[in-house]
Chain A
Amino acid sequence: MIDITSVLTIFFVVSGIFFLLIGSIGTIRLPDFYSRTHATSKSDTLGMMLIIIGLIIFEGLTINSGKLFLVLMFILLANPIGAHALARAAHNSGLSPSFLDNEKD
């Protein structure tokens, strides 16, 4: 028995887990602090929003799906704000980004 809500839930959750995996790999593999903030802000936000959209589709129209929508909006606002605050703190305290010219000497 295949219904449409289960298919949509599985699609959204699997694609969200894929984007979270990409974000985790980027946290390890990227060479610099300022490029690591890309991995933790953009792809993590997209992956978590996809997973929570899948859970909202699975839940239906109840009070819990309203709370999940609150979590979704909070993630959408808070995660880029946190990454931006960290990057601004690093820039203010004098951490220089690594260019290719800096690595030669």
Chain B
Amino acid sequence: MESFFLYSAVILTAIIAVPAYRVIKGPTVFDRLVGTNAIATKTIVLICLIGYVFDRIGMFIDITLAYAILGFIGSLTIAKYFSTTKVRFDD
């Protein structure tokens, strides 16, 4: 069962690397924010799977909770900042 978690963690890492294309090549700043948000939320599940691979889920689940809360606060703060400032769209 640990090898199944290892393979699914490897496949999930390849899936997480896909939205980095949108982060690098997004036309506007909001596309880049969507890409970073997608990467940050999928990393939560990846940390859970890594905890089962190393068989130390008791330690990794606390890291997961802290990472989820920090990512959510960061995303909300950046969205609030860009809703109150002028954004220049160069398209």
- Residues of A at under 8 Å CB distance from B? 6, 9-10, 13-14, 16-17, 20-21, 23-25, 27-28, 33, 36-37, 39-40, 44, 47-48, 51-52, 55, 58-59, 63-64, 67-68, 70-71, 74-75, 78-79, 81-83, 85-86, 88-90, 92-95
- When distances are taken between beta carbons in the complex, the residues of chain B under 8 Å from A27 are 18-19, 22, 34-35, 38
Closest partner residue, chain A, to B17 (CB atom): A24
| Interface residues of B, dominant DSSP | helix
- When distances are taken between beta carbons in the complex, the residues of chain B under 8 Å from A20 are 12, 15, 42, 45
A82 and B31 contact, Cβ closer than 8 Å, known pairs A71-B48, A93-B83: no
- Minimum C-beta distance from A32 to chain B (A): 9
Q: Which of B24-80 contact A (CB under 8 A)?
A: 28, 30-31, 33-35, 37-38, 41-42, 44-45, 48-49, 52, 57-58, 61-62, 64-65, 68-69, 72, 75-76, 79-80
A74 and B69 contact, Cβ closer than 8 Å, known pairs A27-B19, A59-B57, A95-B89: yes
